[in-house]
Amino acid sequence: MKKKNIAIIQVRMKSSRLPGKMLKKIGKYPIIEWVIKRLKMVKSVDKIILATTKKKIDRKFKTISKKLGIDYFAGNEKDVLKRFVDAVKDIEKANIIRVCADNPFVDPEEINKLIVFHKKNKYDYVCNRQIYSKVYSGGFGAEIFSINLLRKLDELVKDKNYREHVTLYLYLWKNRKKFNIHSLKSKNYLGDQIISNKVPGPGNYYEYTHSHYKFTLDTIDDFNFIKKIADKISINTSAKNILKIAKKLG
């Protein structure tokens, strides 16, 4: 049986810094539709699940899921790790691609590269985003791991703060030797050109040419910046061209 690649988008309406941000419109679509539509362009993804909470305010995501032809799951609000585990409880073999809904410009090419790399290499966890070093501009990538690792984390992780962030436990400094994890290097135009030397601190920290750009939606300033870009692009614009526009906007 082929091991499926299942993308899970974690989403909810409640946000302390920018409430209701998932349905705010940029360009032609609400934020959450940008995420789903761009993720659907990844040919190696077999299934997409929109995983939200059981709260009444989040029921509108069920309508969006049906409209765009993806799966829907409502689970625990705070324990996001449990939400993920429950969303795939009936699936035996799969790779999980975790995608955050506040990344409207998640890039199909980068996600596909992530999946291909994970298939060819023996890592527990692979991501194409910033962890130990500033490699990628934030908001284009995701992370991948097996469903078995997801279930192992469910058994291991007791701290509610780590369970809220699903994979945070994996790359904590104290846990580095427990798991075989890897962060992909980006192409030059996404930030893989070193412009300064190693700085003090754990891990290998470097500064890269574009990694200071952030396309994750947390604040109203993020929204205004992302909206300016969305007004100039189509739903299938590449990360490379999005970054070019961002540089022009400053």
Residue 219 has pLDDT above 80, yes or no: yes
Q: Is 8 exposed, middle or buried (0-12, 13-18, 19+ CB in 10 A)?
A: buried
- Tens digit of pLDDT for each residue in 132-181? 555 567 788 899 999 999 999 999 999 998 999 999 898 787 887 889 88
Q: How many whole angstroms separate alpha carbon 31 and alpha carbon 34?
A: 5
In the chain, the domains with their CATH numbers are 4-249 (3.90.550.10)
Q: Kindly give, in sequence order, each residue whose CB lies less than 8 Å from that of residue 177, ignoring residues fewer than 6 positions away.
A: none
Q: Which pTM value belongs to this model?
A: 0.88
- Tens digit of pLDDT for each residue in 186-207? 665 565 444 344 433 334 433 4
**237 residue type, one letter:** T
Is 35 in contact with 7 (CB distance < 8 Å)? Answer: no
